Amino acid sequence: MDLTTEILGQRIYDGEIDGDQFDTFKLGEVFFVDIFQPKKNYHIPRFHTTKGLFTFITTLEACKQIFLPLGFVALDSNNLVNVQHIREVTKTFYAITAHFEGGYTANVAKGKLPLVEHLLKKS
Q: How high does pLDDT run on average in the chain?
A: 92
Q: Which of 84, 112, 48 is nearest to 97 (CA)?
A: 112
Domain ranges of the chain: 6-58, 71-119
Q: For residue 110, name the pLDDT band (cuts at 50, 70, 90).
A: very high
Q: Give percent of the chain with pLDDT exceeding 70.
A: 99
C-alpha 5: how far from chain center: 18
Which tens digits make up the pLDDT trace of 17-31?
Answer: 877 889 999 999 999
pLDDT at 123: 63
**pTM of this prediction?**
0.81
